[in-house]
Amino acid sequence: MGRLSTVYAGRPITTRVPHIMEAFIDLPIVNPPSAPFRVQSFGANAFLHNVDKPFEIHRMIPRMIFADAAATRFSTHDQNELLGCVDISIKEKSRNEAMTAGFVPLLNLVKGTAEQTWEWTDPLVLVRGQGFLVQASMESTVFSFAVGNVSALRLQLAFEGFYLVLPPAFDQR
């Protein structure tokens, strides 16, 4: 976990409540491959923070699983192999700031082989109305190893952190 501040916006942080902001998209697998790359976007509001408490984000957790036409989830391959198939682009919408330099391989963002998270040294704090625009791109030719009735590769992203509970603001005169 990154550094934990004791104050936010000049007010002491009284409590941190664990929270996860997550969403998924299904990236279709086409055999034989018909296009070299496909770009799909998570919905515009998929990673929008809409709670009055500030959200202090410490890490992003990606997961990749296969799904069939009935959306039955199953995984038969190593996460490293699957994370290497997808490139991702993340933009912080309210500040209009790119968090990745264009599309980068998802495997390059995660650390380690067991936990597989993108850890941030300094947490990012979102307030109500702020969020991320996330897009994924995959090369369809990499799915020669897909077997059976697999129709999609499901990309699940979770931003993990804490809601910050602050004491009420008071008027100092």
Task: Tell me the per-residue pLDDT of 12-43, one tens digit each, with 9 for 90 and over.
Answer: 999 999 999 999 988 877 655 555 567 889 98
| pLDDT of the residue at 79 | 72
Cα distances (angstroms) measured from residue 144 to each of 26, 29, 31, 64, 73? 18, 10, 8, 16, 19
**In terms of pLDDT, which residue wins out, 170 or 103?**
103
> Phi/psi at 34 (nearest 5 deg)?
-110, -20
**The pLDDT value given to residue 83:** 80
- The domain 28-165 having CATH identifier 2.30.30: the answer here is no
The C-alpha atoms of residue 19 and residue 7 are separated, in whole angstroms, by 19
* The predicted structure's pLDDT at residue 95: 83
Strand partners, 107: none
Average pLDDT of the segment spanning 120-127 = 91
Q: What is the pTM of this model?
A: 0.84
